[in-house]
């Protein structure tokens, strides 16, 4: 029988569950993993603890920072355990986009960008995930995203750009951007709140196990493994999983979704692997939607990096940016959600594709300094005419010029008969230069599956019961986004559910 690295098949869990529960009574830790998995060895519960905290948070991204900050507000001892040498995980290199129907700055109203509501955001999110997402969890996300955004502004000093974008899959202009233009703007705000409340950090400290005696018992702590040295940390109140997804775990990706082949680039940092999901399964946690893995359609084609220029094609379609293939032809509704755009790119059979925009769009989706920096790095290509831009991108000038002219006509008539893109009066015709292009191609970006949680962010086991003292939030959870996560929903998801987890863990 082949070695199952992830070891988290439901059949294996159920087959070994009774035996593991029986030996747990004799002093062994609970372990329901398949006997053929790498983590299947018997483990003895700690006889003593190296350190004790009230709440242990695993992971230092958006979700972990928010959870730790809220758990520490009442004076509890809280530690964030992070396996990487730097804090922030994927969050610190995130694109910096945050969806909220409103904000304390009233940007939508001041920019005259139409109507929106929490209910409309909920509807878009449900539809964007093909209705696989849990409506109650989505409602928590959309109802609380504004409060979470304002909390980071008020308590953490977060600063927002005075722009608002309509991005793929959304029916309103609701995507906010921090002044830094990357996720670091939010993580720094959250870190300030957490440190102000006394949260401690343990970096370079991978968690290697979750301690639980049996399916009737609570989670009592974690094991860490720092270069072979095992240490046990006790949690008096709770452990919060905020360890992120598994986009960098190629074996795990292939096991649950064979179409996500190893040849795909990945936007994530190297620590985005799935071991915490296996450890959670070992103590009975149910998982869901692990096959739902997202490609980001606008990554740098050769490396898969999500740099500052790679966010422009995400922000721009709401203001008139278009995507074209290597021949200069449109191939998709530019305001479609990420999975649709990624499939359309791949179906062109030509790598890469390009996004095309002009100078007038830049202040609506970014800054001139960012674009100038991107030009110096060769990420953006600039030209004085559409025909010159086509030549620089290796296209036939008459084809790209014809594509742009036709799209400009569609904007004026308010209808896109080719691809059905919803046209708004905020979209700018690509008529006045300079003109810009940027190459793009799909890369693995986000895993929508993870452990099952309830509205209190408590982790649910395979028997449908709450696992006492174990909470989860952020990308380590499943059931919120469904088959596809709408861009800009990751940060509010992590911060909203992180706050809920922290508050409940502290009770």
Catalytic positions, please? Answer: 338
Q: How far apart are CA 448 and CA 137, in angstroms?
A: 14
Q: How far apart are CA 432 and CA 329, in angstroms?
A: 20
Contact of 467 with 322, CB cutoff 8 Å: no
Query: For the chain, first and last CA: distance in Å?
Result: 46
Q: What is the DSSP pairing of strand 293-299 with strand 322-324?
A: unpaired
User: Rounded to 5 degrees, what are φ and ψ at 69?
Assistant: -60, -45
Q: How far apart are CA 177 and CA 165, in angstroms?
A: 9
Contact of 57 with 67, CB cutoff 8 Å: yes
Contact of 80 with 64, CB cutoff 8 Å: yes
> CA–CA distance from 295 to each of 90, 305, 339, 447 (Å)?
15, 12, 6, 9
Q: What is the dihedral of CA 429, 432, 438, 441, to 10 degrees?
A: 20
- CA gyration radius, the chain: 23
Element (H, E) at 23: helix 10-24
Whether the ω angle into residue 177 lies within 30 degrees of 0, i.e. cis, is no
Six token digits for residue 172 = 């309103």
Q: How far apart are CA 239 and CA 502, in angstroms?
A: 10
In terms of Cβ atoms closer than 10 Å to its own Cβ (0-12, 13-18, 19+), residue 75 is: exposed
Contact of 301 with 341, CB cutoff 8 Å: no
Q: How far apart are CA 304 and CA 293, in angstroms?
A: 15
Residue whose pair of structure tokens reads 């509807």 in the numeric block: 123
Could you please report the per-residue DSSP string of 265-298?
A: -B-S-TT--SHHHHHHHHTTB-EE-TT-EEEEEE
| E strand spans, 35-76 | 51-58
> CA–CA distance from 171 to each of 101, 119, 121, 309 (Å)?
11, 12, 8, 24
């Amino acid at each position: 029988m082949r070695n199952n690295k992830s070891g988290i098949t439901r059949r294996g869990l159920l087959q070994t569950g009774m035996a593991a529960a029986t030996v747990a009574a004799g002093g062994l830790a609970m372990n329901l993993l398949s006997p053929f998995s790498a983590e299947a060895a018997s483990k003895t519960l700690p006889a003593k603890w190296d350190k004790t905290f009230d709440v242990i948070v695993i992971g230092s991204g958006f979700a972990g920072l928010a959870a730790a900050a809220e758990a520490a507000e009442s004076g509890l001892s809280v530690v964030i355990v992070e396996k990487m040498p730097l804090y922030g995980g994927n969050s610190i290199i995130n694109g910096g986009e945050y969806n909220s129907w409103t904000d304390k700055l009233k940007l939508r109203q001041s920019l005259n960008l139409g109507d929106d509501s929490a209910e409309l955001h909920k509807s878009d999110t449900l539809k964007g995930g093909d209705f696989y997402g849990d409506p109650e969890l989505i409602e928590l996300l959309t109802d609380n995203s504004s409060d979470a955004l304002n909390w980071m502004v008020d308590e953490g000093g977060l600063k927002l750009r005075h722009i608002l974008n309509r991005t793929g899959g959304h029916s309103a202009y609701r995507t906010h951007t921090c002044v830094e233009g990357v996720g670091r703007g939010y993580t720094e705000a959250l870190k300030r709140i957490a440190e102000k409340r006394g949260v401690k950090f343990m970096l370079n400290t991978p968690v290697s196990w979750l301690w639980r005696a049996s399916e009737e018992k609570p989670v009592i702590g974690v094991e860490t493994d720092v270069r072979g040295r095992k240490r046990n940390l006790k949690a008096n109140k709770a452990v919060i999983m905020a360890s992120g997804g598994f986009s960098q775990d190629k074996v795990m990706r292939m096991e649950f979704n064979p179409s996500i082949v190893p040849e795909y680039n990945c936007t994530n940092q190297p620590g985005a692997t799935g071991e915490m999901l296996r450890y959670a399964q070992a103590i009975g946690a149910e998982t869901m939607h692990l096959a739902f893995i997202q490609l980001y359609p606008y990554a740098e084609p050769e490396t898969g990096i999500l740099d500052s220029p790679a966010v422009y094609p995400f922000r721009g379609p709401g203001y008139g940016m278009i995507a074209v293939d290597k021949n200069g032809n449109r191939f998709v509704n530019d305001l479609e959600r990420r999975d649709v755009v990624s499939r359309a790119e791949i179906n062109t059979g030509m790598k890469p594709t390009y996004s095309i925009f002009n100078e007038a769009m830049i202040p609506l989706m970014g800054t001139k300094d960012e674009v100038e920096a991107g030009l110096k790095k060769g990420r953006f290509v600039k030209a004085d005419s559409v025909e010159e831009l086509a030549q620089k991108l290796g296209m036939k000038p008459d084809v790209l010029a014809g594509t742009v002219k036709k799209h400009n006509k569609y904007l004026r008539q308010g209808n896109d008969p080719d691809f059905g893109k919803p046209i708004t009066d905020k979209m700018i015709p690509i008529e006045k230069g300079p003109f810009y292009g940027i190459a793009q191609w799909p890369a693995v970006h986000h895993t929508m599956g993870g452990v099952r949680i309830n509205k209190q962010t408590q982790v649910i086991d395979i028997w449908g019961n709450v696992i006492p003292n174990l909470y989860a939030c952020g990308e380590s959870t499943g059931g919120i986004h469904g088959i596809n996560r709408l861009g800009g929903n990751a940060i509010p998801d992590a911060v909203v559910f992180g706050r809920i987890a922290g508050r409940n863990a502290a009770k």
